[in-house]
Chain A
Amino acid sequence: MKKAISLLILMLVLFLAACGGSEEDTSSDASGESAETASSGEEAEESAEPVEIEFWHAMSGPHEEAINSFADAFNEENENVTVKPVNQGSYDDLEQKIMAAAKAGNLPDMAQSVTNVVPEYIANDFLVPLNDLIEDADVGMSDEELNDIIEVFRESSSWDGTFYSLPFSKSTRVLFYNQTMLDEAGLEVPATWDELREVAAQLTTDGTVGMGFENSFEAEFQGILKQLGGTYIDEETAEAHFASQEGIEAITFMNDMIDEGIARTAGEDSYMSNPFGRGDVAMYIGSSAGIPHVGAAVENGMEWSTAPIPELDGEKATTFAGNDIVLFNQSEDAETKAAWEFLKYLTSEEVTTEWAMLSGYLPVRYSAQESDEYQSYLEENPAFKAGPEQFDAGFFIARVPGGDAVRNIVLEELDYIIQDQKSVEEGLTSAQDRANEALQQ
């Protein structure tokens, strides 16, 4: 008898434990749909007038406070609309919750979204195309207003002429440098990749590596590749072309620096801000969104600032990334209208200027960038200058469904290359083959 009971209990436990793994996707399904969206839909139906909309985002700390203050200000201006910003955790959490909410038919009215994932949202029909709203005579944007949005952001928000998002928290790559170390060695901030290599070699000492790359240094790969005239992924045909001669040259350049010990990746430190702040690396290339983190990590009062990404034979190119805002199509018309109003508000000159100064993200409008307010802010915070300076050299990589799969593949193969498990050519060719396979699905 006892034996039977123990066996039964064992089976039960086994069952519970074995289920645990596959349970994950469903449990987040459940939590995503429960409390968050229950309020939005039904209340609006009861009385036609007041509309409550939800805005899911992944901003925390001071950034979240800024968003809340924008929402409060907007709610005060618009009596009938109540915007409820909901912080969903990290970008990954946000994406997972959106996935779960979409499955449950409970998508919020609007959300922050990494540009790379927008093609998946489009492919699965989650989004409201914004063209009708933009062109609407009453609530739309004038051509002037639309063209005031920084060109590279406008382009990265539209697919075949259709706008599916508007830019919100955008960042670009910049070169961080330790002014104190440069001064001590009597060196200038490098303006070209050759100079960068030279400076990195000279700054490398016992405790310091001259140059640092983030773990996501595929962005630098894309930049150098572009400067060399190569193509990363062709957006039209959704084909990867990065294992070209140019691609090999770009990766060889970075890999050689790493092999020679004059460059390193963030590796176990996750991001370069901490090693840079400690003085373990003298320079690094990373996201301009990291500027506040570097500010917090800097020790011993060292002087530092940022510069544009180095040129190559006079060619400038730097990737712009970050988050846009999308509207989801599971909302009532009134809610979509309200969400559109809030989206317009968030991307207005006044708010984007304030947002840029509070968060360190780039302003999304030329008028905001040129405003006296922002310009005097740049004077006080010179580290933020390098970002907007590169607007004209900005580009973004092809946005295609499967883009995240390609990113995983490229990061993995680059890792094999810098760990010397594969040669540059082997790694890139394998990455390209696998990427093309993933893109065809």
Chain B
Amino acid sequence: MLEKPTWKSTLKGFLYLLPALLILIIFNIYPIIRSFLMSFYTDYDYFNDIVHEYGFDNFIAIFQDPNFITALKNTGIFVLGVVPISIFLSMGIAVLLNNKIKLAGFFRTIYFLPFVTSVVAVSIVWSWIYHSDYGLLNYFLGWFGIDPIAWLNDPNYAMPALIIMSIWKGLGFNIIIFLAGLQNIGEQYYLAAKVDGASAWKRFTNITLPLLSPTIFFVSIISIINGFKVFDEVFALFNGRPGPANSALTVVYYIYQKFYEEWQFGLASTAAFVLFIIIFIFTIIQLVIGRRFVHYN
């Protein structure tokens, strides 16, 4: 079935890849290399591309900057808060939607809507929902005798508010991916299990989960990468501030501040590069773990 690779077939393969590769190289790989180099600029004229001195000063500077440490910590909390809950929730909903329930298509659309809505629009609506005096959320909480919470003004609640919104926003995408994964699982497995008298839970843990593992793996990698890159949500929800008392300052927000607001191009590149390395390490770890637990049919 598998042809032996020859020079000709390899060349042909690359030819097919060429359009994608060109775009990747110009818009992704080249900027990554440039920003990697820029992270070593210590004395430079950014606009005329003149570098007087290279060095490690930027790396020392950002790790001594308490704000960068805060940003790393907040980003970590955000990823930890969003990814597991989002995966569990979306998998659960996908399994439910995969059953032949009434209006399944309708619900799929509903869950997908937040994903295709602009982050800014979503954030504006959520900033109304979270409003301490006039917000829907506090109104509902009031039914249970819970005092109004200043979701967006209180540094302790700003991050939870961000996490809740992000889970809600990302749910639709994950659900669609999980649904696709679920529909790839052959009906015959379930029939066989039913014949053997396996309970619904047994069928889930012994058939659905293992056969869904490539999808879970894929979703978790994408979610973690997206989690580390969170920016738009913060910017829009807190109206161009990194939350009260920096409580929602994330790494990308830090990069934005350094690059666009403070004209510190070297520092911004360094922070971007550190983020790249962190995401890279996490993905490698996931790949290693994934190799042991993921079954490809």
Contacts and interface: CB of A to CB of B under 8 A. Distances in A.
Interface of A: 1-3, 6-7, 10, 13-23, 25-27, 92, 95-96, 99, 102-103, 120, 124-126, 215, 267-270, 280, 401-402, 404-405, 408, 411-412, 415-416, 419, 421, 438, 441
B43 to A, nearest CB: 10
A23 B28 contact: yes
A267 B244 contact: yes
Nearest to A403: B262
A213 B35 CA distance: 40
Given A268-B151, A404-B261, 14 more contacts: A1-B1, A1-B2, A2-B296, A14-B283, A15-B24, A17-B225, A27-B27, A92-B240, A96-B260, A268-B150, A268-B153, A408-B261, A419-B155, A419-B245
Nearest to B228: A21
* Among all A-B residue pairs, the 6 with the closest Cβ atoms: A19-B28, A268-B152, A405-B262, A270-B239, A267-B153, A17-B225
Contact of B259 (A1, A25, A126, A269): A25
Given A14-B221, A18-B276, A23 B27 contact: yes
B246 A412 contact: yes
B108 interface: no
B170 interface: no
B214 interface: yes
B265 to A, nearest CB: 9
B208 interface: no
A419 B150 CA distance: 12
A19 B244 contact: no
Q: Is the interface of B mostly helix, strand, loop or mixed?
A: helix
27 contacts: A1-B1, A10-B287, A13-B221, A14-B225, A18-B225, A18-B280, A18-B283, A19-B24, A19-B27, A19-B28, A21-B252, A21-B275, A22-B276, A120-B263, A267-B153, A267-B244, A268-B151, A269-B131, A402-B262, A404-B262, A405-B262, A408-B257, A408-B261, A412-B245, A415-B244, A415-B245, A438-B262
Contacts of B275: 21
Contacts, number: 118
A18 B296 CA distance: 24
B264 interface: yes
Contacts of B153: 267-268
A388 to B, nearest CB: 29
A17 B24 CA distance: 11
Contacts of B262: 402, 404-405, 408, 438
A13 B222 contact: yes
B42 to A, nearest CB: 11
B245 A421 contact: yes
Contact of A26 (B31, B47, B133, B150): B31
A436 to B, nearest CB: 15
